[in-house]
Amino acid sequence: MAAPIHPPLPPKEIQQRHYFKFLRHVTLKLLLFLLVLAVGLSLIAMSKSRFLGADGGLGFIPGLIEPISLNLWIRPPWSLIHDMTDEELFWRASLAPQRKNYPFKRIPRIAFMFLTKGPLPLYPLWEKFFEGHELFYSIYIHSMPSYQAVFPRSSPFYGRQIPSQVVEWGKMSVCDAERRLLANALLDFSNEWFLLLSETCIPLYNFSRIHSYLVRSRHSFISAFDDPGEYGRGRYNHRMAPEVNLSQWRKGSQWFQINRAAAVAIVKDETFYPKFRDFCLPHCYVDEHYFPTMLTIEIADQLANRSLTWVDWSRGGPHPATFGEWDISESFLRGILEGQSCLYNGQRSTLCHLFARKFSPSALPPLLEFSPVVLGFG
């Protein structure tokens, strides 16, 4: 039986069929494009979440792309930028491992934490100091929020500013900034030592010697002494009892060098902080008393009761001497290094200071000139 013969379609209907066929083709391509785009964005979001995380940049959240492993949990944040409040940051940073031994190969690093209002004029000297030791240090900078540092991409200081807040000298905001530096540095499990420095500080020895001195120390270095005078016990407020008694009141320099246990103790503190915030008011100068007192109460046996930062108070006044271009000479630098005596791991030592302050920007050229001869780097 012959197949039925259909009459030819009218031109208008043929045109409509071609149009609808074209429309389906375009729609399928558009849906495919949107599907690929959605998958791509999801992969990017999951990749970012492994590093930034829901907690605002602390480590990562294990995702579906990479199998969950120890490496995911110990990987340091890829960026120092986050939107956490101090409360959130301190909580996260206080999550310290409770087991003493690390189940992975860990190179103990030194966290160099710079507390500054703005620029770091001596950074070329520090770059010489850090050169060749990239695996053994990390850098953190707390400046005024309005200041944006400009370092070349090749500099170890590039991208190392942390989210900062306004700091007022002699007030609790100074201690807040120091805790902020510690908390950000604690997020990296490799950091074992935490050094507080200013923009006027310089290293007195090469990196290897300083690193060896710190990692072999059994104590944290923070000045903490009982001053019976008006600038010591005279600043104590009896409303700080019973958490802080007069006999426990200590004074010391704010420039500390502490290990990870002491850093966690500072960041997690909720007992002593309110007392110092509310009752150590001007002219108490809380940055001279909070950490020395709190750590003496909490971990006195772990403190060396001295700072590793040298300063010159011989000129009198409320601030130590500042040194400029015309002060710097080979004999001046050697004078800082010589004639020292202190205890190190219970033994008498002539190596007592690893850093010095205060050096003005004009001191940079002679420091660069003499550092290879006297300080051992550059």
CA dihedral (209, 215, 216, 222) positive or negative:
positive
Q: Which two tokens stand for residue 109?
A: 């690093």
Q: Residue 187: helix, strand or coil by DSSP?
A: coil
What torsion do the CA atoms of 94, 95, 97, 98 make, to the nearest 10 degrees?
A: 80
What is the pLDDT at residue 11? 57
| Cα radius of gyration (the chain) | 29
CA distance 114 to 117: 10
Q: At what angle do helices 290-299 and 260-268 cross, to 10 degrees?
A: 110
Give the SS3 label for residue 353: coil
Nearest-angstrom CA–CA distance, 34 and 45: 16
Q: What is the pLDDT along the chain (378 residues), one digit of tens a residue?
A: 555 555 555 555 555 555 556 666 667 667 777 776 776 666 655 555 444 443 344 444 444 455 678 777 777 777 898 989 999 999 999 988 888 788 888 889 999 999 999 999 999 999 999 999 999 999 999 999 999 888 999 999 999 999 999 999 889 999 999 999 999 999 999 999 999 999 999 999 999 999 999 999 999 999 999 999 999 999 999 999 999 999 999 999 999 999 999 999 999 999 999 999 999 998 899 999 999 999 999 999 999 999 999 999 887 777 889 999 999 999 999 999 998 899 999 999 999 999 999 999 999 999 999 999 999 998
Residue given tokens 């971990």 in the structure block: 299
User: pTM value?
Assistant: 0.82
Q: Say how far apart CA 13 and CA 17 lie, in whole Å.
A: 6
| Ordered structural domains, the chain, with CATH | 90-96+106-308 (3.90.550)
Let me know: does 251 contact 227? Beta carbons within 8 Å: yes
